[in-house]
Structure 1
């Protein structure tokens, strides 16, 4: 009997963008072992994920016994986390999502495009005026989404070092549960104080909108604070990783980088290129988690009520039945059906914002710095694998 593989699996050092070989070798419905020794079901196929992530027989309620938590810290905090869009099922999920949906609707996000372009252009100006080599993570990757999400949320950018550090501690797989809880509490107290200020002095931002909903009794103070924390963390971590990882992947594929640079004024092509990079990189590498509330039969296997299920997004995005020759980065590939943002009712709230940020960066950075190149051998680039999403610790570049 083969040993049940541990999840998340280690990616191969020689091919860090590809899913781990074990992901590609797993049966359509298999078992994996996670940090607490439990063995939830594992589903990686694109079509199976599409079917099950819309199936009401699966719940995202992490308070249910047997839920396959992502980390020890998350498991310890789960009983104390109030209702959120990330841990509730309809109809509660529908109500909560409605309270925060508006700022992330496509039309409102598109209106931010000139502001995002202005932010990026200023950062590139600073980069070009500074010393070489430079760290693209610190110069572009982190500042772009952090500046954008702080403006949207209504949090002062000058506090970015505090909440970047606190959010990293809160979601890292390596964080002790007590330390994770402390980081979450620090972030919560910071945002709670901001929320109170917005009640007395509202502005055109998400915290002010939530403060008005709290005053109207449409959401509680605790719900607003926890939702703000989730928006702040998700709003900068993943996009920052995609900017730096996407750049590294393109530098490793100079033909695709040249194509993107040549067609950077073609907004449709740039948008498609962003989708292919989202598919190819699939930075959420810890899977998304559910628990069965009824028996489900899949490929002759019965997932019993009470069983945990993990959906590996990279498996779906490298599924050759949906994306032929998935290991080839092809910016002309129609890749919009990828699962980089999940799928179904719980897919990423901020996906429209992430798309616009990536389109602006991918359409601008390589055109403005055509000689952009790695300043160290590829093998020396340090990957950060300890979070919910993987990324780079730094990306030394020159030009």
Structure 2
């Protein structure tokens, strides 16, 4: 490192220390520095070429500094798996960047994705039993009913539709509301809080504001159900653990379920429907049998990787790399899941969507102790919804080319504003 770089880094760290005393607040960050936006940019459904070039050149790359801390990006598949699983060297505590003192309960930074063991372990043990395959099997008829009702509405309003607003968003929204046990009166107020949580076009301001609104709503829902628990997850946890979980803690857990199960599933359903409708082999496999349908779902998860990056990690200690470089204690490490899932080390011809591909050990749900607790629910929603969509409407055809679609510019969860399509006047008997 040059003398100038060392001085710049030292000055940055001094400024950081001073700023932290007054409160370095990511909510005040109105724009992401350009050098940090690479992991969030794509070319249609594919990562931008720069990220593949970076993976080939330096699978663990130093992007620059942020208030005196080094910022790194991990793009290689093997390196993502190794570092994501290294809880001893890396922390998930985002709270260090957002001063908590004087903040309301709704504004506190927490939740499974942004906490470390042992707190993370304690919180996750409340949720894990609710998301096993056996426990989730009870939701299959519910998801089937929600999907059927949505397809009925599409058919009645057809032949033109928007795969986003008419299909992809309503289904996971209804599922997550049913799962949490939110009454009908709460759902209208709850609608629309998802997209802004992942939008980084205004830096941290919009995302943190949306997070506070969502947490405030769910903390209130917990308080209302404490006296009379409902039939869903909130009510169940109150009944079983109500004496151990205060409103803020349980509201945060519910918010994590919403965060991981609504916007992400909606983006996967929308882009998945678009891709499947343009791939005859995928449509045939979805309708063949469960094993074939599951294969299509796994390839969609790998190829699309709508959760583009994992929650950032912060180095607890100096971490030496094999090439002699060192991730310094306090440095920020980002993980490009989409780059990892397009790594030739994971799959042959990784930029091609191949529904016949044998399932890979992709990282669409992350890896390590922070791997998405709701992964099986997401798979179930995708399998049921996409299978029924192509079974009901085999003539479904997108009416826009990929370069005509309005994709999100800077979002941790990749998605699209609208996906126009037509039923083409063809559907199979119900």
Please tell me whether the aligned partners of residues 147 and 157 of structure 1 are also in contact (alpha carbons under 8 angstroms): no
Work out which of the residue numbers 100, 118, 129 in structure 1 matches 2:156: 129
Q: Which has the larger radius of gyration?
A: 2
Question: Is the contact between residue 308 and residue 414 of structure 2 (CA under 8 Å) also seen in structure 1?
Answer: yes
Q: Find the partner of 2:313 among 290, 294, 297.
A: 290
Alignment correspondent of 2:214: 187
Counterpart position of 1:31: 62
1:280 aligns with 2:303: yes
Contact conserved, 1:280 with 1:318, CA < 8 A, in 2?
A: yes
Selected match of 2:341 from 281, 292, 317: 317
What is residue 396 of structure 2 aligned with on the other side? Answer: 372
1:6 corresponding residue in structure 2: 36
Cross-structure match for 1:267: 290
Q: List runs of 5+ in structure 1 lacking aligned partners.
A: 70-75
Aligned-residue offset at 1:6: 3.4
In 2, the alpha carbon distance for the partners of 1:34 and 1:398 equals 48
Q: Within 5 Å, which residues of 2 pair with 1:117-266?
A: 117-157=144-184, 159-175=186-202, 180-212=207-239, 215-216=242-243, 218-252=244-278, 254-257=279-282, 260-261=283-284, 263-266=286-289
Q: Aligned Cα RMSD in Å?
A: 2.8
Check 1:286–1:162 CA distance in 2 against 1; reply closer, same or farther (3 A cut): farther
Query: Residues of 2 paired with 1:348 and 1:249: CA distance?
Result: 24
Distance 1:387 1:7, change over 3 A: closer
Q: Is the 8 A contact 1:214 1:224 kept in 2?
A: no
Q: Residues 170 and 184 of structure 1 are in contact (CA less than 8 Å); yes or no, is this contact kept in structure 2?
A: yes
Residue matched to 1:61: 93
CA distance in structure 2 between the aligned counterparts of 1:263 and 1:51, rounded to whole angstroms: 33
Contact 2:114 2:311 in 1 (8 A): no
**SS at 1:232's partner residue?**
helix
Q: Equivalents in 2 of 1:194, 1:4: separation in Å?
A: 39
Provide the C-alpha distance between the structure 1 equivalents of 2:106 and 2:224, rounded to a whole number of angstroms.
29
Q: Does 1:308 align with 2:332?
A: yes
Query: 2: CA distance between counterparts of 1:398 and 1:292?
Result: 50
CA contact (8 A) 2:399 2:421 kept: yes
Deviation at 1:181, TM superposition (A): 4.7
Q: Is the 8 A contact 1:276 1:333 kept in 2?
A: yes
**Could you say which structure has the higher helix fraction?**
2
- Asked whether the equivalents of residues 134 and 397 of structure 1 are also in contact (C-alpha less than 8 Å), the reply is yes
| 1:157 to partner: Cα distance | 4.6
1:391 partner SS: coil
Contact 2:92-2:114 at 8 Å conserved across structures? yes
Partner of 1:94: 121
2:7 match: none
In 2, Cα distance between equivalents of 1:215 and 1:396: 45
1:36/1:359 CA distance change after superposition, 3 Å: farther
Contact 1:294 1:304 in 2 (8 A): yes
Q: 2:350 aligns with which of 312, 318, 326?
A: 326
Q: Could you list the per-position Cα deviations for residues 94-144 of structure 1 after superposition, in whole angstroms to 9, with x for gaps in the alignment?
A: 111011222212211122112211211121121111133111111110111
**Alignment CA distance shift 1:12-1:350 (3 Å):** closer
Instruction: Measure the CA separation in 1 of the matches of 2:178 and 2:255.
Output: 14
Deviation by residue 1:250-298 (Cα, 9 ceiling, x = unmatched): 234x3433xx335513101101110100000011124431011122222
Q: How many residues align?
A: 384
Does the Cα contact within 8 Å between 2:219 and 2:252 map onto a contact in 1? no
Gaps of 5+ in 2: 3-32, 424-430
Distance 2:133 2:149 in 1: 25
Tell me if the contact between 1:63 and 1:79 (Cα under 8 Å) persists in the aligned partners.
no
Matched, 1:388 2:412: yes
Superposition TM-score, scaled by structure 2 size: 0.81
